[in-house]
Amino acid sequence: MRFLLIALLSITICPAQQRISAGNAASLAATVAPGSILDIQQLQPPRIIGNPDPNRVSVQVRPAGSSSEINAPLLAGSFLSIWAQLPPETPLGQAEVTLTVDGQKSAPAAITVANSSFGIFTQARNGLGPAIAQNQESERAPALNQLTNPALPNQYVILWGTGLGSARTSDVTVELGGRDIAPSYAGRAPDFPGVDQINFQIPPGLGAPDGCDVSVIVRVGDNPSNQATLSKAAVPGVCDHPLGLSAAEMATLDAGGRVLFGTALLQSNLSPPPRTESAAAQFLRRSALDIALLAQPLMAQDRYFGCSSTGRLGLTGVIFSADVDAGESLNLSGPGKTVSIPRSALGGLYAVNLDPPALDPGTWRFAGPGGATIGPFEIDIIVPPGIRWTNRDELAGIDRLQDQTVRWDPSGYTDADVVFVTLSLVSPGTSGIVCRTPAPAGSLTIPASLLQSLPSTSQPFDLQLAIRPRPNRRVVFPLPLRDSTTARGLIEYSYSESVRVRLR
């Protein structure tokens, strides 16, 4: 945990007024608990890089209705944002955060101060992917939970986060892979201001799935944290990777390296009209976070489906690898069509726009002739019908006091196809609601209790209906490499439509 609190780079001071956002330093949610770590992100350059000088930089919090400000002490530990501890005496309710640099105050950022708002620290430091967690072995110091060091039955795990606030251990539940565990301890972490730790034991026969990316969520009462992942296995060794990575590849990722992995996506989107369709592929050397986001959190089926609140997403990124060559173009052939997908100047990226409606249902073959890095390959994928949203025009206005049902034509789908319904503010990086159900169901209802949890605002919301394959039913295929080894690839489809709605 100590690396969270180490200075990384020297300071660069911004001379002009900044626009900032503020939230929980682990989840990035705009709801923050007293005593927790506040993350302040500067939304326009130039930015402060590394730990700020407290003689030149300060953070203030002004509670709603108050004429005075409370100083939030600066903390070390972030790279591209500033950390401060929200004072324990901060009143609950709405508040504004400002950043002052060399006497110049930023525009205020709104936060909500609540008794508890827990966030799990992740290895990517953006609320996504593998959690910062340690496996407690019997007579050894805790070791970082990783692909090559999964948590085992009867083992204790330590989760690190911030935002427990006034919550006690009895108020906290750890949801691992969709199964609930009562922690043995949930409270302040010694020696680390604003940091909380949660200790829990994995009971045998828990019923949670094993794998490299098992979902972990911490609930304080009914309020969930961000969704992170843990590596979990039944026996010692490496975890079972859903994308078929080898033990050597997982060791490379755990050491901070990258592995070559390919993705192909057939995409159709109506947001806004007219409809656009495309076929794209990426052959990149990817980090552990990139691979984890592709794998997606694993959870028991009864918890995977349904609706839940989702926190504000952090920034993600991929380092493009221009040295990966799968040939000058790829081929996509389907019902009565053949399309060439050219290679871009970025090397491992291939993309082409299609003239809709091009992605007819049926079997499509994705193939490459081979290049300097990747040898010849081909793989088939069965593509279902596109979206046929039957009540879209009825959803322009949504009463947040009533359950809201989204309907579509279920014909032609199987239980491998999943409908995702998301509702969030049009502004990027905001919290919202995500729902999942098998596509053959034909409808999905967003409960009023979740609608009421969304912010009251005159701004429009984006309601999206999307159909994609289930994470554990996607097509994973081998990629033969010219050095006589084998990498992996993933091919999937995504259909989506969106409509702007108003909540009243």
Question: Region 468-480: what's the mean pLDDT?
Answer: 93
For the CA atoms of 238, 239, 242, 244, the dihedral, rounded to the nearest 10 degrees, stands at: 10
SS3 382: strand
Determine the pLDDT at residue 16.
54
pLDDT in tens, 262-294: 999 999 998 777 889 999 999 999 999 899 999
Q: Provide the residue type at 265 as one letter.
A: L
C-alpha 157/C-alpha 338 separation (Å) is: 51
Determine the pLDDT at residue 313.
47
Q: How many C-beta atoms lie closer than 10 Å to residue 317's C-beta? A: 10
**Percentage of the chain modeled with pLDDT above 70:** 92
- Give the CA diameter of the chain: 70
Q: Which CATH class is domain 2-114?
A: mainly beta
Higher pLDDT, 494 or 311: 494
Question: Region 183-206: what's the mean pLDDT?
Answer: 94
Determine the pLDDT at residue 242.
93
Determine the pLDDT at residue 321.
54
C-alpha 367/C-alpha 329 separation (Å) is: 9
Contact 172, 274 (CB under 8 A): no
Burial class of residue 6 in the structure, from the number of CB atoms within 10 Å of its CB (0-12 exposed, 13-18 middle, 19+ buried): exposed
C-alpha 113/C-alpha 70 separation (Å) is: 13
Whether the pLDDT of residue 6 is over 60: the answer is: no
Determine the pLDDT at residue 317.
46
pLDDT in tens, 327-377: 999 999 999 899 999 998 877 899 999 988 889 999 999 999 999 999 999
Asked if domains 2-114 and 120-232 share a fold, the reply is: yes
Could you tell me the two tokens for 122?
């992740």
Determine the pLDDT at residue 472.
85
C-alpha 451/C-alpha 429 separation (Å) is: 18
Determine the pLDDT at residue 311.
56
Q: Provide the residue type at 81 as one letter.
A: S
Radius of gyration, CA atoms only, the chain? 24
Contact 202, 155 (CB under 8 A): yes
Q: Please, what is the angle between helix 247-254 and helix 288-295, to 10°?
A: 120
Task: Sketch the domain layout of the chain as residue ranges.
Answer: 2-114, 120-232, 247-499
Contact 190, 272 (CB under 8 A): no
pLDDT in tens, 246-266: 999 999 999 999 999 999 999
Q: Which of 334, 294, 133 shows the shortest CA–CA distance to 216?
A: 133
SS3 212: strand
Domain 120-232 carries which CATH code?
2.60.40
For the CA atoms of 211, 215, 219, 223, the dihedral, rounded to the nearest 10 degrees, stands at: -170
| φ and ψ at residue 253, rounded to 5 degrees | -65, -40
Question: Region 442-470: what's the mean pLDDT?
Answer: 90
Q: Which of 61, 21, 42 shows the shortest CA–CA distance to 101?
A: 42
Whether the pLDDT of residue 46 is over 70: the answer is: no
Residues with Cβ within 8 Å of 220's Cβ and at least 6 positions away in sequence, in order, are 116, 117, 118, 164, 165, 167, 171, 172
Q: Where are the beta strands (DSSP E) in 76-118?
A: 82-85, 93-101, 104-105, 109-113
Determine the pLDDT at residue 49.
72
Mean pLDDT of the chain: 89
